[in-house]
Amino acid sequence: MSARTAQERPQRKGSIFALNESNPLVPYLFLLPHAIFFFIFTVYPVGYGIWISTHRWDPLAPTQPYVGLEFYRNLFDPSTPQSQFFWRTLLNTLFFTAVSVPLLIAVALGLALLLHRPIVGRAFFRAVFFMPGILSVAVMGILWKWMFENQSGLVNIIASEYLGLPRLPYLTTEWLAWVPIVVGTVWWTVGFNMTLYLAALGNIPQALFEAAELDGAGSWARFRHITLPLLAPTTLFVAVTTVLASLQLFGQSLIITGGGPTRTTQSVIMYITEEAFSNNQFSSATAMSFVFGLVMLVFTVLQFRIMARDMQGGMR
C-alpha cells in the first residue's frame, strides 16, 4: 500500500476546507442531494406520523391531546369498529394477493414463453399484451365493471344468450365479486411481468438447450431444468414487486365493486382512506398505516431471505 502514489489513491486525511477530493466530507456531499429528499419526504413524515398516531389529531382542533397507544390498542380490542374492519380488510387484501400473484407470475411466464419463439406477429402481440398497463386504474376499473355488470355486462350476455349458462351477479355476490377485480388486475398488469420474463429469456445461452437436446432432454425437461432455474432471479424479483403491488390494492376495488358487497372486497388501504377522510379519524388511520406497513415489511424481509438463499443456490 505504501508503494502507491498520491495520484492513484486519495489521501487518507485532508482538511475539511480542502477544495479537492481529499476533503473527508466528499462522500457525504455526494449523498446529500438524496439525503435532503429522503429526510423531507420519508424521515420527517414517518416521525410526524408517529406523533399523529399517539395524539388525537385534527388540524381544526385547538388542542391535539396525547393519547398514547390508544389507536393501536383499538386495533386489538374486538369491541371497536377499527379492529373489526381493519383485520377483515387486511384478510381481504391478503386473499387478493394470494390469488393474483401466482396468476400474475404464471400467466406472464406463459405469455413470455410463447412470445419468445419466432412466431408471426411477435412484436405486435408483445405490444398488445403490454398495452393495458398504460391505462389508468380508473379506465381499467370502469371497463371491467362494465364487462362483469350483473345484468347487462358482456360476460353475462355471452353466458346467457350464447352459452345457455345462468347469469351470475358478480358485483353483488361475496367471493364472485373478486372475479372482475382479479381478472382485471391480471389483464392490466401482466404485460409488465411478461416483459421482464422476455428480457430474461433472451439472456439464456442457446448452447445450453442444444447440449441438453443432444443428451436427449425433451422439451419439458429442458424447461424444467434449464429455463426455470435460470429464470429464478427474475421470478423472485417479479414475485417481490407483485406481492407489494397487490398488497396495495386500492383503485380496482374502489371502482369495480366499491369494496362491496358488504365490505368483502374492500382492501385495507381503502379502509384506511375511509377512516381518515370520511370519518376524519386521522390518528386512527395513521396508526393503522403503521401496523399495515409493518405487515408489508415482514413480507418483504421474508422474500428477501428466500431470494438470498436461492441466489446462492443458483450461483453454482
The residues binding other proteins (CB under 8 A) are: 56, 58-62, 79-81, 145-146, 149-152, 166, 169, 171-173, 258, 260-263, 274, 277-281, 284
Residue with Cβ nearer other proteins (83 or 241): 83
Q: Please report how close the Cβ of residue 254 comes to other proteins at its closest, in angstroms.
A: 11
Q: Please report how close the Cβ of residue 252 comes to other proteins at its closest, in angstroms.
A: 16
Residue with Cβ nearer other proteins (174 or 210): 174
Q: Please report how close the Cβ of residue 271 comes to other proteins at its closest, in angstroms.
A: 11
Q: How many CA atoms lie within 13 A of 183 on its CB side?
A: 13
Residue 174 to residue 43: CA distance in whole angstroms: 40
3-state secondary structure of 76: coil
Residue with Cβ nearer other proteins (6 or 60): 60
Total number of residues shown for the chain:
316
Residue with Cβ nearer other proteins (196 or 255): 255
Report residue 237 as a C-alpha cell: 424479483
Spatial contact of 16 and 24, defined as CB atoms under 8 Å apart: yes
Residue with Cβ nearer other proteins (234 or 257): 257
Residue 34 to residue 10: CA distance in whole angstroms: 24
DSSP string, 22-42: TSTTHHHHHHHHHHHHHIIII
Q: Please report how close the Cβ of residue 97 comes to other proteins at its closest, in angstroms.
A: 24
Q: Please report how close the Cβ of residue 132 comes to other proteins at its closest, in angstroms.
A: 22
Burial of 14 (0-12, 13-18, 19+ CB in 10 A): middle
